[in-house]
């Protein structure tokens, strides 16, 4: 194919002028006409037009045909009114939508201006718009009413772009849309009128573009707003000034557009009323969006919920007092028994020492120590129920734990209950607090014993279980691998109503004074804290199976609860220094004596401030032991953090009978920080100190 001819500027200008003239007139030349004009120009320039130019002309003809069809199709099918006018406003061309919307034939519109169509009230504005277009300004959102052939008017929203002596126009018919808005406002006005007679209920509107809140008398009363000011509009910042600080975040998000696409909203928040009271407000409403999906306004109803919330608080307090009343009988019974064992053993110790009968002392010491351990377990039940029990999870071999407890369980349930242990040989390891799991298992066995008043069989079983998505949804657990520890009995069983309340705090089917009703609540709290779940299967008269689902731990190693404590305590190897901070003199005295007996140099402080002074000194300190709750405004965690800032390698052991999650966390401590819960045995403390200093 011959080389393409070089560009011809004169040809380009001529062709462009021809096409512009056709478009501006609103009449579109045929492609043949355009191509013929091109060839005439080409022929005038060159005696012989080569094949390359003819191919180019054919391509040009095809492109013009395609673009003309596309433009004509859009022009024909558009629902909007499209038009081209000259600088005086005379319509040069309009699309068929003009006739569809207004009813006038296109011939009656083209070649004329719009003044005869514009509503008389809008004509002054129409003149203003022409002046603005003449200055080159683009108009958007201009609204005018145009006369229809039937005698009515349609409201049109215009976008007009000036280009030289031409005006390119698009108009959207918004008559129905505006009618719906007016109907909505009318209905809202009626609702405001109806609700104004009901105290504590009102209607509000938030205009997004204005950033302004409007309300009626009912809302103004609840919010403590001047009704006149509420009707005139209140800026969002002024409105939010009365909202309770704790409830600001969700309200700000909603008013800033943070809504789902449906636009429905329901919020409850508190208002700090100017009279000093706190008001609860429930707002329900709907958001209206524009064509681009942006919120225009929100309208809704506000209800004063203050009285209802006050009654609910009174009911909760009443239920709490009732629960405490139910608790005190059983709790006092349990503690009195334990205290009797402790105090009685101490009295017998004192008597036997005075009598010189020292051979019998160990028996009384064991009795007092055992009662103290049971008292500690009962306290731990309360802490686990409150979900604030500090846990010390570690990899635990549950089969080994059960083996260590089997003899204790058999003694506890008595000879009338046959105990069977069905343990899966290759049982997975789980990450739990072994002491708490031991306590939970013992409680389950005691419950099973109590359910078999005339004797029976108890089965303790362990198994590995893969929980799929379906089972996980039923158990309210994430899908995955779980170790299952279950205790089954063939006793009286539970009704559906009892199962529904089995984990409720203080709920018990035992007689008054026979228990606290915290056993299953404690187990449930502990297992949920450990990432697992508790499931009950029972039928009346057929027995009960209670299963603990504990997540599998994929690491190595296991921890167990040792029943026999070593007699020889680990001593200090090089006279290490331990700083002890505790405000309880008796605890401080006992721990200092143990430390000194084991060869440690002991430093002591009664509060966080004095302990921090020692940490700030040049004294060498190998381990910090501190209670979490300390007087003087500095708690144990704050002392530990400050100590770490001064001594990055400082090892820390928290000792506490009650730990706030905000201080210690949900069982997760920083590396080098450990936790020991009170009460603890002194040999356990000595072993932990040795592990921390050496490790």
Whether the per-residue pLDDT at 102 is higher than 80: the answer is yes
pLDDT average, residue stretch 335-357: 75
Tell me phi and psi for residue 465, to 5 degrees. Answer: -145, 130
User: Can 391-553 and 577-694 be said to share one CATH topology?
Assistant: no
Q: How does DSSP assign 461-526, residue by residue? A: EEEEEEE-HHHHHHHT--SEEEEEEEEEE-SS---HHHHHHTTSTT---SPTTS--S-HHHHHHHH
3-state helix, strand, coil in the chain (%, to 5): 45, 25, 30
- In b/e form, how buried is each residue of 671-681, taking b as 16+ CB within 10 angstroms? eebbbbbeeee
- Region 81-173: CATH code: 3.30.450.20
Beta strand pairing call for 533-539 and 295-304? unpaired
**With bands split at pLDDT 50, 70 and 90, how would you rate the model's confidence at 625?**
very high
User: What does the pLDDT read at residue 209?
Assistant: 84
Asked which of 268-277, 578-587, 655-664 is least confident by mean pLDDT, the reply is: 655-664
Which H or E run contains 646?
helix 636-646
Find the range with the poorest average confidence among 137-151, 291-305, 547-561, 597-611.
Answer: 547-561
Q: Which of 33-47, 485-499, 563-577 has the highest mean pLDDT?
A: 485-499
Integer Cα distance of 243 and 20 in angstroms: 62
Mark out the alpha helices in 112-208 (DSSP H runs).
Answer: 123-134, 175-195
> What ranges do the domains of the chain cover?
9-76, 81-173, 178-304, 311-382, 391-553, 577-694
pLDDT band of residue 91 (cuts 50, 70, 90) is very high
Q: What is the pLDDT of residue 365?
A: 81
If you average pLDDT over each of 186-190, 207-211, 383-387, 677-681, which comes out highest? 207-211
> How would you label 240-253 residue by residue, b for 16+ Cβ within 10 Å and e otherwise?
eebbeeebeeebee
Identify which has the larger pLDDT, 597 or 331. Answer: 597
2 pLDDT higher than 50 = no
- Residue 66 is predicted with a pLDDT of 66
Mean pLDDT of 591-610: 88
> Between 3.40.50.720, 3.50.50.60, 3.40.50.2300, 1.10.30.50, what CATH number should domain 577-694 receive?
3.40.50.2300
The Cα–Cα gap between 566 and 421 comes to 28
Q: Is the pLDDT of residue 669 over 60?
A: yes
Predicted confidence band at 386 (pLDDT cuts at 50, 70, 90)?
A: very low
CATH dotted code for 178-304: 3.30.450.20
Per-residue model confidence as pLDDT tens digits over 176-235? 888 888 777 766 666 555 555 555 677 888 888 888 888 887 788 888 888 888 888 888
Higher pLDDT, 264 or 423: 423
Token pair, residue 99, equals 């006739």
Q: What is the mean pLDDT of residues 439-460?
A: 86
Residue 624 pLDDT > 90, yes or no? yes
Higher per-residue confidence, 684 vs 340: 684
> What's the average model confidence in pLDDT over 233-241?
83
pLDDT at 147: 92
pLDDT confidence of residue 385: 42
Average pLDDT, the chain: 76
Question: Average pLDDT of 346-374?
Answer: 78
Answer whether residue 370 shows pLDDT above 80: no
Residue 574 or 466, more confident: 466
Of the options 3.30.559.10, 3.40.50.720, 1.20.1090.10, 3.30.565.10, the CATH number for the domain spanning 391-553 = 3.30.565.10
Which range is most confident: 343-352, 620-629, 676-685? 620-629
The reported pLDDT for the residue numbered 580 is 93
624 is written with which tokens? 């910090």
Phi, psi (degrees; rounded to nearest 5) at 485: -110, 120
**Pairing verdict, β 577-581 and 601-605:** parallel
- Name the DSSP letter for residue 542: T
Give the separation between CA 157 and CA 80, rounded to whole angstroms.
10
pLDDT value for 298 = 82
């Amino acid at each position: 194919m011959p080389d393409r001819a070089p560009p011809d500027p004169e040809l380009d200008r001529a062709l462009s002028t021809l096409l512009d003239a056709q478009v501006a007139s609103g009449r579109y030349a045929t492609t043949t006409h355009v191509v013929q004009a091109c060839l005439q120009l080409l022929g005038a320039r060159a005696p012989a037009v080569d094949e390359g130019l003819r191919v180019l002309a054919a391509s040009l003809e095809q492109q013009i045909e395609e673009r003309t069809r596309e433009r004509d199709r859009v022009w024909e099918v558009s629902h909007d009114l499209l038009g081209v006018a000259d600088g005086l406003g005379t319509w040069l061309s309009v699309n068929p939508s003009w006739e569809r919307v207004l009813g006038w034939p296109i011939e009656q519109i083209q070649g004329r201006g719009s003044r005869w169509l514009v509503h008389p009230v809008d004509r002054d504005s129409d003149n203003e718009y022409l002046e603005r277009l003449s200055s080159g300004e683009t108009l958007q959102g201009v609204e005018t009413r145009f006369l229809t052939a039937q005698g009515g008017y349609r409201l049109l929203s215009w976008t007009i772009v000036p280009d030289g002596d031409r005006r390119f126009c698009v108009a959207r018919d918004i008559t129905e849309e505006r009618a719906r808005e007016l109907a909505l406002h009318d209905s809202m006005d009626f609702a405001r009128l109806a609700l104004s007679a009901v105290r504590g209920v009102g209607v509000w509107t938030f205009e997004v573009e204005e950033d302004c809140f409007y309300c009626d008398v009912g809302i103004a009363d609840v919010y403590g707003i001047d009704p006149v000011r509420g009707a005139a509009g209140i800026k969002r910042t002024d409105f939010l000034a009365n909202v309770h600080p704790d409830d600001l975040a969700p309200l700000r998000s909603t008013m800033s557009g943070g809504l789902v696409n449906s636009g429905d909203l329901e919020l409850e928040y508190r208002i700090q009323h100017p009279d000093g009271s706190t008001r609860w407000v429930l707002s329900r409403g709907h958001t209206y969006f524009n064509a681009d999906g942006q919120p225009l306004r929100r309208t809704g109803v506000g209800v004063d919920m203050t009285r209802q919330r006050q009654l609910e608080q009174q009911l909760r307090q009443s239920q709490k007092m009732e629960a405490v009343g139910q608790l005190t009988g059983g709790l006092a019974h349990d503690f009195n028994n334990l205290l009797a064992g402790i105090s009685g053993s101490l009295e017998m110790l004192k008597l036997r020492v005075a009598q010189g009968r020292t051979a019998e002392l160990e028996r009384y010491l064991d009795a007092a120590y055992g009662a103290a351990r049971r008292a500690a377990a009962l306290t731990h039940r309360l802490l686990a129920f409150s979900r604030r029990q500090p846990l010390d999870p570690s990899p635990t071999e549950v089969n080994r734990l059960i083996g260590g407890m089997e003899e204790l369980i058999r003694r506890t349930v008595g000879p009338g209950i046959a105990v069977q242990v069905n343990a899966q040989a290759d049982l997975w390891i789980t990450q739990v607090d072994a002491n708490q799991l031991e306590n939970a298992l013992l409680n389950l066995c005691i419950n099973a014993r109590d359910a078999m008043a005339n004797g029976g069989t108890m089965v303790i079983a362990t198994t590995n279980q893969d929980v799929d998505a379906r089972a996980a949804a039923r158990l309210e657990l994430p899908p995955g691998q779980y170790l299952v520890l279950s205790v089954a009995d063939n006793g009286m069983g539970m009704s559906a109503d009892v199962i529904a309340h089995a984990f409720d705090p203080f709920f018990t089917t035992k007689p008054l004074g026979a228990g606290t009703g915290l056993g299953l609540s404690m187990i449930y709290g502990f297992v949920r804290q450990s990432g697992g779940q508790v499931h009950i299967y029972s039928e009346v008269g057929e027995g009960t199976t209670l299963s603990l689902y504990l997540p599998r731990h994929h690491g190595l190693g296991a921890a167990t609860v040792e029943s026999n404590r070593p007699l020889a305590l680990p001593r200090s190897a090089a006279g290490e220094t331990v700083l002890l901070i505790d405000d309880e003199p008796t605890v401080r005295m006992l721990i200092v004596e143990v430390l000194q007996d084991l060869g440690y140099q002991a430093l002591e402080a009664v509060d966080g401030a004095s302990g921090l002074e020692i940490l700030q000194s040049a004294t060498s300190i190998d381990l910090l032991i501190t209670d979490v709750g300390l007087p003087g405004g500095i708690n144990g965690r704050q002392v530990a953090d400050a100590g770490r800032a001064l001594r990055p390698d400082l090892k820390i052991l928290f000792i506490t009978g009650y730990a706030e999650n905000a201080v210690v966390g949900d069982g997760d401590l920083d590396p080098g920080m450990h936790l020991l819960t009170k009460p603890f045995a002194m040999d356990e403390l000595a072993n932990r100190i040795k592990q921390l200093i050496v490790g």
